[in-house]
Structure 1
Amino acid sequence: MPIETEGEIVAIETAINAVLGPITGVIYDTVFFSVEIGTVALPFVVIWLIGAAVFFTIRLGFINLRGFGHAVRLVRGDYSQATAEGDVSHWGALSTALSGTVGVGNVAGVALAISLGGPGAAFWMVVAGFLGMTTKFVECTLAVKYRRRNADGSFSGGPMYFLPIAFSKLGLRRAGVAAAGFFAVATVFGSTSLFPINQAYVQFSYVSGLEGGLAFGIVIAVLVGLVIIGGIRSIAKVTGILVPIMCGSYILAALAVILSHAADLPGVVGIILADAFSLGAVGGGFVGSLIIGFQRAAYSGEAGLGSAAIAHSAARTSDPIAQGFVALLEPFFDTVVVCSLTALVIVSTGLHTASDLEGIEIASAAFANVFPWFPPLLALTIVLFAISTLIAWAYYGERAWGYLFGETPRRRLLFKALFLSIVAVAPTFSIIEAIRFLDAMIFAMAFPNICALYLFSGEIAADLKAYWAKVRAHGTDGTGASRPAAARRLAERQAP
């Protein structure tokens, strides 16, 4: 039965909020349980994520730095092998994962971090993104190593497949199976998050002045449906084109704004660094900006949640470590590059001091400060960000659904139908409790995933050592693919 009046929509929202309220309250408060640090409360899940990132960065000898050049060459296709198993190329897996993380958080999230914690929060976002590169390396390596081939020849992988193996190391395989089921359920719910499509509609409506949430949702659902119906190969083809276009256009616009204030750039960097280590009261000073920066980075990059591992498990590669290298580029582009540029735009235009704006309004006003015509283009960018996020999370949800109910074409189609139905009606509603519930589900994924990463830490370190040994001994990328002498010499210098 169609929804015909605003009153009916409000009534439905009220009823859903009333039902979900008590359930959401318990789940949300559990997942986002806060620890008091000085005058600032930090959700324990953020400590859980950042702690793992620091541990693995040290445990693996700063592989996020030493392996960066090697990762770029892998994505470039220098070591592609026709005989390697998998569904998509290194770039296809990376672009799919990037499409799930590059989004509203890179724009509105940075603005929110700065408004809450001062310009210094942006610095700590970048630090957290840098550390998160190692977490992505570990979780995506494991996803490829323990993936499985389906009856139709495709591959499925992710934390739900390596969790039972991880817990078996402690003699707790049943607990591992339960943890895998919990992760899959959280992924299914988290994939249907209303936030990206809601934010896209808000920005579109604000700029265009047009109303019609249902029509907007149906259009987006059709566009997303045309992509996801073809599976990971179709998704990778689209994201492989969409990610460079949307990221490239945003980066160029940001650079144009920054260069228009080039003379002020040293002072802008000074403001950010000074505030990052300030003892002042804004956002709690040094501690406040650090906490808020780390928290927003966790939302933006998703390192440690295990979501990107699902996409990378489909990569065409002969060595799981090779895909781990590719995966570490994701937080670099998502958080270190894009979030840094957003911060520089906001601070260079002086909008970091605006008290009458919030969230994406700050970023929009900062771009409009140089390009008055930019807000409509930003609205289009946000819509593209939302579409790309929905495409990636549709795949994550589908794979988790398949783990729970079986990898059959009919069951996959059922999930896609349910997913697209939610996308179609999402802009029509403002169901606060549902958004809170789904956000909690996304971050709940981190608890079992990080446990598994710790249990596999020794194994990953040994695999990485063996990989570098093959690089030194055979002049290959570790999978057997030969390469030019100059590249081999560079890899040998990077290897321990």
Structure 2
Amino acid sequence: IIGGLRRIALTAEAIVPAMILIYLSACLWIILGNVEQVPQAIATIFNEAFSPIAVAGGMVGALVQGFKRAMFSSEAGLGSAAIVHATASVKYPIRQGMVALYEPFIDTIVICSMTALVIVITGVYNDPATLAIREASKGAALTSAAFGTVSSWFPGILTLSVVLFAFSTMISWSYYGERCWAYLFGERVSLVYRVLFLIFIVIASVASAANMLDFTDLLVLSMAFPNLIGLYLLSGKVNTMLVDYQTRLKSGELDQEKSQSH
């Protein structure tokens, strides 16, 4: 974090592919080992979500919780991804936008969906032994219990994955915040922000997880509102740039530029 963007980028470049590979490999091991249960697991997810009891009792609450966790996971609509993608030097910003579209797909659609399948396939989602975990909404602990049904050492893989996910998230968000800090107070005091960020990591590590999530949800929502307004106001310009890029792509102009650059 103290080393700035270059050190953060090098660290994330090494950690992110490894952590995704480790976690997805573990999930695939469980899913492929119980592949015959996948159709039933998917059916269970939809049946439980849209059953009369769910609709009458907690569908709205479940949707709200889902929206909050999905926003927290994908960062969609927050404007955070634009901060890091803006550092890329490209002729057509649309290309960076297309790259950014893959991020929520991988971490939210692929990883979260595979996690859900693992939890349902292993049966821990309705196991009386995990009732306390479910009532406390401890997602990582529930996933660990699912991993533990395969082997006693499998939860260790999850622990490693969680540590890598948390570490890469912290260093990435430190850069997001630093850019905002520098915009408000100037580059000369960026080191002050980095030190404060490291101090708050220590404070957050001993705080209640439930309180931290509630506080984070509030801050995330406060980011989303102004950013969504900005997206709406800039949507016309983005559409113009997209149409221009598609026109150039279809005409072969981009291929000519690529061949000339080589």
Contact 1:283 1:289 in 2 (8 A): no
1:245 aligns with 2:18: yes
Contact 1:279 1:286 in 2 (8 A): no
Residue 191 of structure 2 is matched in structure 1 by 413
In 1: Cα distance, 2:158 partner to 2:101 partner = 28
In 2: Cα distance, 1:435 partner to 1:270 partner = 30
Residue 117 of structure 2 is matched in structure 1 by 344
1:465 aligns with 2:238: no
Residue 357 of structure 1 is matched in structure 2 by 133
Deviation of residue 384 (structure 1)? 1.4
Query: For the structure 1 residues 331 and 407, does the alpha-carbon distance in structure 2 shift closer, same or farther, using more than 3 Å as the test?
Result: same
SS of 2:46's equivalent? helix
Q: Which moved more, 1:309-318 or 1:251-260?
A: 309-318
Query: For the structure 1 residues 399 and 467, does the alpha-carbon distance in structure 2 shift closer, same or farther, using more than 3 Å as the test?
Result: same
In 1: Cα distance, 2:92 partner to 2:21 partner = 30
Percent of residue pairs bearing the same amino acid type: 46
Counterparts of residues 330-479 of structure 1 (less than 5 Å): 330-354=103-127, 355-358=131-134, 359=138, 360-408=140-188, 411-430=189-208, 436-476=214-254
Contact 1:275 1:286 in 2 (8 A): no
In 2: Cα distance, 1:275 partner to 1:287 partner = 14
Deviations 1:124-155 (A, max 9, x none): xxxxxxxxxxxxxxxxxxxxxxxxxxxxxxxx
Query: For the structure 1 residues 460 and 293, does the alpha-carbon distance in structure 2 shift closer, same or farther, using more than 3 Å as the test?
Result: same
Contact 2:119 2:142 in 1 (8 A): yes
SS of 2:51's equivalent? coil
Give the TM-score of the pair, scaled to structure 1: 0.48
Residue 310 of structure 1 is matched in structure 2 by 83
Structure 2: stretches of 5+ with no match in the other structure: none
In 2: Cα distance, 1:475 partner to 1:275 partner = 51
Residue 140 of structure 1 is matched in structure 2 by none
Deviation of residue 458 (structure 1)? 1.4
Residue 36 of structure 2 is matched in structure 1 by 263
In 2: Cα distance, 1:437 partner to 1:295 partner = 12
Counterparts of residues 152-301 of structure 1 (less than 5 Å): 228-281=1-54, 284=57, 289-301=62-74
How many residue pairs get aligned? The number is 253
Deviations 1:348-382 (A, max 9, x none): 01112132322222111001111221223322221
Cα RMSD (Å) of the superposition? 2.4
Deviations 1:257-309 (A, max 9, x none): 11111121121122123334333337846655544433321222110111111
Which letter maps to 1:481?
A: K
Which structure's residues are more often helix, by fraction? 2
Contact 2:26 2:157 in 1 (8 A): no
Query: For the structure 1 residues 433 and 331, does the alpha-carbon distance in structure 2 shift closer, same or farther, using more than 3 Å as the test?
Result: closer
In 1: Cα distance, 2:245 partner to 2:168 partner = 33
Q: Which moved more, 1:277-286 or 1:252-261?
A: 277-286
In 1: Cα distance, 2:193 partner to 2:35 partner = 49
Query: For the structure 1 residues 229 and 481, does the alpha-carbon distance in structure 2 shift closer, same or farther, using more than 3 Å as the test?
Result: farther
Structure 1: stretches of 5+ with no match in the other structure: 1-227, 484-496
Query: For the structure 1 residues 372 and 282, does the alpha-carbon distance in structure 2 shift closer, same or farther, using more than 3 Å as the test?
Result: farther
Residue 22 of structure 1 is matched in structure 2 by none
In 1: Cα distance, 2:174 partner to 2:164 partner = 15
Contact 2:119 2:125 in 1 (8 A): yes
SS of 1:412's equivalent? helix
Which letter maps to 2:200?
A: I
Corresponding residue to 1:481 among 238, 246, 258:
258
Deviation of residue 437 (structure 1)? 3.8
SS of 1:463's equivalent? helix
Contact 1:268 1:344 in 2 (8 A): yes
Deviation of residue 433 (structure 1)? 5.9
In 2: Cα distance, 1:339 partner to 1:233 partner = 29
Q: Bigger relative contact order, structure 1 or 2, given CA contacts below 8 A and separation 6+? A: 1
In 1: Cα distance, 2:222 partner to 2:24 partner = 32
Contact 2:181 2:193 in 1 (8 A): yes
Contact 1:277 1:285 in 2 (8 A): no
Counterparts of residues 124-143 of structure 1 (less than 5 Å): none
